[in-house]
Amino acid sequence: MKYINWTLEKCSSRKGFIILLIVCFWAKTMLAYFVDLGLGITNPFQFFIVLINPLATTTLLLSIALYFKKSRFFYPLAILISILNTVLLYLNVIYFREFTDFMTVSTMTGYSKVNQGLSGSSLALTNFHDIFYWIDLVVIIGLLVFKKIKIDPRPLNHRIGLAVTSFSVLFFVVNLSLGEMDRPQLLTRTFDRTYIVKYLGLDAFTVYDGLKSQHNNDLRATATKSELNDVLKFTHKHYAKPNKKYYGIAKGKNVIIIHLESFQQFLINKKINGQEVTPFLNKLYGSKSSYAFSNFFHQVGQGKTSDAENMLETSTYGLPQGSLFAQLGSDNTFQAAPAILNQRRGYTSAVFHGNIASFWNRNNVYKNMGYQYFFDASYYNTTGDRSLGYGLKDKLLFRDSVKYLQNLQQPFYAKYITVTNHFPYDLDKEDTNFKTTNTGDNVVDNYFLTAHYLDQAVHEFYNYMRKTGLLKHSVILLYGDHYGISNSENTNLAKALGKNPDDWDDFDNAQLQRVPLIINIPGKKNGFISKKYGGEIDVLPTLMHLLGISSKRYVQFGTDLLSKQHDQVVAFRNQDWVSPAFTSISGDIYSNKTGQLMKLTKRQQAQVKVDRDKVDNELSLSDSLNEKNLLRFYHPKGFKNVDPRKYNYADLYQKELRIEKRLGKKSTSIYSENGDKSTWNEYFTDAPEIHHKTTDSNRIKITNPDANNNDSSR
Q: Which residues are marked as active site?
A: 305
CA torsion sign, 528 to 529 to 531 to 534? positive
Pairing of strands 348-353, 373-375: parallel
Distances (CA, A) of 412 to 339, 349, 530, 536, 583: 12, 6, 27, 21, 39
C-beta of residue 262 within 8 angstroms of C-beta of residue 482: yes
The DSSP string of 284-317 is HHT-TTEEEEEEEE----TTTHHHHHHHHHHS--
Is 558:535 a contact under the CB 8 Å cutoff? yes
Residue 108 identity (one-letter amino acid): M
If you ran DSSP here, which 8-state letter would residue 547 be given? T
What does 563-622 look like in DSSP terms, one character per residue?
STT---PEEPTTS-EE-SSEEEETTEEEETTT-SB----HHHHHHHHHHHHHHHHHHHHH
349 forms beta bridges with 413
Nearest to 94 by CA among 63, 128, 118: 118
533 membership: H or E segment, kind and range: strand 528-535
Q: What is the DSSP string of 203-234?
A: HHHHHHHHHHHHHHHHHHHH--GGGGHHHHHH
The span from the first CA to the last CA of the chain, in angstroms, equals: 78
Answer whether the bond into residue 424 is a cis peptide, omega within 30°: yes
Q: CA-CA distance, 226 to 534, in Å (whole number)? A: 31
CA distances in angstroms from 432 to 157, 274, 435, 702, listed in the order given: 69, 16, 9, 16
CA distance 463 to 397: 15
Cα 484 to Cα 310, 425, 446: the distances in Å are 19, 9, 11
User: Considering only CA atoms, which of 278, 585, 283 is closest in space to residue 448?
Assistant: 278
How many Cα atoms within 13 Å fall on the side-chain side of residue 397? 28
386: CB partners within 8 A, 6+ apart: 380, 392, 393, 396, 689
Q: How many residues does the chain have?
A: 714
Whole-number Å distance between alpha carbons of 314 and 543: 12
